[in-house]
A and B are shown apart, each in its own frame.
Chain A
């Protein structure tokens, strides 16, 4: 839920990331409000993943000031880590561990106590309707389940922010829709969602979206505003218009 008066939970000013002479992120500046679903859009290679990695602490920025969850990204990295969750496009779970063991492991590395882990795990399996899969190996469960589980695991420690890097790659539209229901639910519980995607229909679900073109933010607003500004009927059209400006 986007409220202009809500506090900023991510503040990025003049973020620059260079790889040699290639500029992946060219002076990005934006704020994300607490509790909103912030869509981070862009074509492949526009610099989305680079930016999300910097925000998660997986990579250092070349320059710029960044504040995540109220903590400075240079000085308070450890505090940031405790307050964020991350899910990559690979749905990274361990194939040779069971569903429960994966949950226990990820909850464990965030320092959750055994009793809490047991509770959350059973609550989770109830919610996902996966109770009978508790002791199945990850390699034996369907992709859609894996994806839902990966998301649930990413927010098992109740982070302030969850970063989702193309979380819906390779799954069918129905599963994608169900996945977005989970995102809405997390958002309702107060978790800020920062999501990258290149499915433009998903952009419509976001409270606000930023569209990256060539390492720069070309547009940033609510989907409705963007559509009216660019005289488009869908986010897909907005995106194509922005991309065309760039080509010209």
Chain B
């Protein structure tokens, strides 16, 4: 035990004497959270648009006013002819052009059929889609208000968004970031610190010593359990204080699940370090093989349901996916353990699997 403690103390020296490690450990979570929280958002505000009003009557003016006062759009330019449309898009500022056909009010009144065209800049398809939807919403609201008395049959849905009433993107970011950063710190840092000993040749000395291989490995990952756990807390606290992301469910359960996920990532880190002897390769594997799937295939940014079937299968073997489900369930929906038992089981299964393979690999390497 005393030998083991000495070993852990040494590990902490390594970590605290390397400012780059410290920066990754404590700077990264804060910076990432702030970046993802503030910068990456699906909501679009103040998009610049141009309007070509060929009829210039009361109705088109009222619709334009509604559009511009919605908060989503800013009028960049009033166009005079359709020839200007291409030019205004090419200049690049304008994301959308709204065109009212000639005699808009007259047609609306007489035939009930007025023409309006929406042209979006689909070089950024997501933004174009969202903006077009906004405008369509505004138009149909206007029609409904216009016909409020005339049409007897109407379906007016009353929409309520549960668990994230204001539809804040950051509610989604905090669970995703937890998964990503815990994965990064646990898997990357441990695989780096173990391969570093191999590169230096100190691993041989440790293996020659009376320390058991298990003690060496646990001694190496032990500090990272603490640090990753501290990071999980930092993310939860920052998410709560800066972005107002709540923890509806049990904090203890949330921390326990984070602990399980950390163990999973650590065992993955150990597995990586049994595959390679070089820090560089360990880093490549961690970054490319772990980070990209964590970001892309975990449902963190892109919904799993939209992916092709084959990719969906891949998603199901990504541990972070289950962890994200778990934290969302606890933080936002306030669910208890019963609801996340399945996901918890899967994470535990992954942990055991990785440890099992590592032990096998370790034996083979020694022989």
Contact = CB atoms under 8 A, between A and B. Distances in A.
Nearest to B201: A90
A109 B7 CA distance: 7
Given A81-B210, A108-B6, A110-B210, A96 B18 contact: yes
A135 interface: no
Contact of B366 (A58, A89, A93, A108): A58
B210 A92 contact: no
B204 interface: yes
A92 B204 contact: yes
Interface residues of A, number: 29
A104 B7 CA distance: 10
A175 interface: no
A90 B13 contact: no
Contacts of B206: 109
Nearest to A57: B208
A87 B73 CA distance: 71
Nearest to B215: A109
Interface string A73-111: 000001001101110111011111100010011101111
B6 A104 contact: yes
B3 A58 contact: no
Interface in B158-210: 200-202, 204-210
Interface string B324-367: 00000000000000000000000000000000000000000011
A81 B2 CA distance: 17
A66 interface: no
Contacts of A85: 208
B45 interface: no
A186 to B, nearest CB: 17
A228 interface: no
14 contacts: A60-B366, A81-B208, A81-B209, A81-B210, A86-B208, A88-B201, A92-B202, A94-B10, A94-B14, A94-B200, A97-B13, A101-B10, A109-B3, A111-B210
